[in-house]
Structure 1
């Protein structure tokens, strides 16, 4: 029998074993509500690029001396001196209202008068909860301007009272000539839906615990994708038991070798089921990260001096079970048999070799 020859009509892979059950995870919305202000600004910075692919770049400015800019999306290389959008982040335990939004608007106009930046084309308030009265007010830009100008006359905000009379007049004049439709709010549900399209989604939010598919059962016939690691196992068997185990037909007649090959194929297909699950349920590269974690440790074991490839194989398989995997969204799905199977995936790629010249 030729390794990897495979015959048409080979029975499809079957699955066995119970599916895992997991407790419910918090929704993304609940996660966002739990953020502190810094975490929320980071979340907004991840979301903004998905709004407008024309942004030259997106920067976070939040902090002391930010002049009312938390996250800025630049439409030109001139940054704050050209066309840009401001995303003002407000993470409160209650809805964002006019009394909390107006001071930020005054800060923006005062900073523009002082020459810190040009007035943005859009000014978007981003908060987990937006008061309905604020949404209704922003829906009528002329009313928003009217209320802003009325408040401006009586405000005691330091950002305004610290201005000279000429600067205060400039703020009023700038506000009178500004189209207040620039002020907007964003719905958190829409924001989360758009964030889902970004590469940050999978790492920021706990993903719904999808049950891993049941483990594949090796088909009766060896497939082409098994050729190299099975050949390496045949080399091990021939070295240990002689020419009576140099082919698959002979191995099938050898009690120890046949049982050993059966177990290794089960491990290979367990890891293969993990690979397919990772491909469909996690970002690209997660299964490869498991391969690399295992390889980085067991390659040192494989480089030892052994009298037989069998001894190297057993030492590597044992050490694979002790490897500490990098914590990713896939790690919790990795089973002990997968680690063993990963070694055969590595052998299938010739990253591990069991029988080596120079063994004593």
Structure 2
């Protein structure tokens, strides 16, 4: 009886990878999430500002530019080894409040705090009680005489009055899980986590072949003609006994085209690599000179390709038999496979 072997540790999860991120990588990750939202028309412009002179802004997400009050969202990225506490954030809050008060930028509609380990219980409770939150900020400001760890500003009467009426409800948490949901829709998700969306959206198949299908369709028509020993010049001339076969071939092509679009959006060039691997895998069947006709060559190839695997391709967990068969038609469409060899 074969000895059982240990499969090794489970793959690292996105949450575990995020915990290991540097502050720069974490800010970039959040900026990528914001850019995805921009592509989904949630924002007009994204600006990564974190660093010296940022005035308490890591990432600004604008719905209009120049921004007006309540038309933009601010994200603060915090890469800490523990959940965020009020102490971690107090300097950021003070800096933010001062620069809004000072007119350096308009008040945002949302101020999102995002930590690699989310916010802790104390900060969570503070965010949930704006009045206590306000009192906490004013108390800390007075106790420190305006001398925060990375920001110094005395609490002048006008500033205190501004804070007293400020709407602290706009300061919220954006959790890691929420950011991951957004990021999963981004082309960057594979690059950062080696993960792809779980479902490949399927393209609808047009009722009639399009110009993009012209080459592979002509190859299928040649295969029918070779079998019938009579030319089949157009789709309208396909003998009725081949109608279902032709529909199946088109279905295969569009299933693979859906994977191609998916690859283009998330893992560029992976579908092209898959086609090349398939071309190598089917070449013994395609090049076999003993086939009685082109239709036999086509059908034997479509049968053989379903036995192939793509274990090294990034798309491997999204590939179905229809994709493998459809890739054969894509190769024909590229002029790399012919069902009836040229004389």
Q: Compute the TM-score of the two structures, normalised by the length of structure 1.
A: 0.56
Pairwise CA distance, 1:160: 5.1
Pairwise CA distance, 1:247: 5.0
Pairwise CA distance, 1:195: 3.5
- Does structure 1 retain, via aligned residues, the 8 Å contact 2:74–2:110? yes
- Does structure 2 retain, via aligned residues, the 8 Å contact 1:50–1:195? no
Of the two structures, which has the highest relative contact order with CA contacts closer than 8 Å and spacing of 6 or more? Answer: 1
RMSD: 5.2
Cα separation, partners in 2 of 1:84 and 1:203, compared to 1, 3 Å: same
Structure label with greater radius of gyration:
1
Residue 132 in structure 1 maps to residue 121 in structure 2: yes
How far apart, CA to CA, are the structure 2 residues paired with 1:38 and 1:58? Answer: 17
Pairwise CA distance, 1:291: 6.2
Structure 1 unaligned regions, length at least 5: 1-20, 211-224, 236-245, 250-268, 297-309, 311-326
Pairwise CA distance, 1:130: 1.2
How far apart, CA to CA, are the structure 1 residues paired with 2:273 and 2:49? Answer: 37
Matching residue of 1:180: 168
How far apart, CA to CA, are the structure 2 residues paired with 1:192 and 1:294? Answer: 28
Matching residue of 1:157: 148
- Does structure 2 retain, via aligned residues, the 8 Å contact 1:61–1:69? yes
Cα separation, partners in 2 of 1:53 and 1:341, compared to 1, 3 Å: closer
How far apart, CA to CA, are the structure 1 residues paired with 2:224 and 2:8? Answer: 40
How far apart, CA to CA, are the structure 1 residues paired with 2:122 and 2:192? Answer: 31
Residue 329 in structure 1 maps to residue 314 in structure 2: yes
Structural mapping, 1:29-40, within 5 Å: 29-40=15-26
How far apart, CA to CA, are the structure 2 residues paired with 1:73 and 1:142? Answer: 27
Matching residue of 1:26: 12
How far apart, CA to CA, are the structure 1 residues paired with 2:97 and 2:197? Answer: 47
| Higher alpha-carbon deviation: 111-120 or 199-208 | 199-208
Structural mapping, 1:198-347, within 5 Å: 198-207=186-195, 228-229=218-219, 276=255, 279=258, 283-285=262-264, 289=269, 292=272, 329-330=314-315, 345-347=330-332
- Does structure 2 retain, via aligned residues, the 8 Å contact 1:106–1:159? no
- Does structure 2 retain, via aligned residues, the 8 Å contact 1:278–1:330? no
Matching residue of 2:307: none
Structural mapping, 1:48-63, within 5 Å: 48=34, 50=37, 53-63=41-51
- Does structure 2 retain, via aligned residues, the 8 Å contact 1:22–1:209? no
Cα separation, partners in 2 of 1:232 and 1:343, compared to 1, 3 Å: farther
SS in structure 1 at match of 2:74? strand
Structure 2 unaligned regions, length at least 5: 1-6, 199-214, 230-248, 277-288, 290-311
How far apart, CA to CA, are the structure 2 residues paired with 1:132 and 1:125? Answer: 14
How far apart, CA to CA, are the structure 2 residues paired with 1:78 and 1:68? Answer: 18
Cα separation, partners in 2 of 1:75 and 1:340, compared to 1, 3 Å: closer
- Does structure 2 retain, via aligned residues, the 8 Å contact 1:25–1:208? no
- Does structure 2 retain, via aligned residues, the 8 Å contact 1:26–1:206? no
Matching residue of 1:5: none
- Does structure 1 retain, via aligned residues, the 8 Å contact 2:253–2:327? no
- Does structure 1 retain, via aligned residues, the 8 Å contact 2:69–2:108? no
- Once the two structures are superposed, residues 193-252 of structure 1 have per-residue CA deviations (whole angstroms, 9 ceiling, x without a partner) of 344345544444322799xxxxxxxxxxxxxx97644677899xxxxxxxxxx6588xxx
Q: Compute the TM-score of the two structures, normalised by the length of structure 2.
A: 0.59
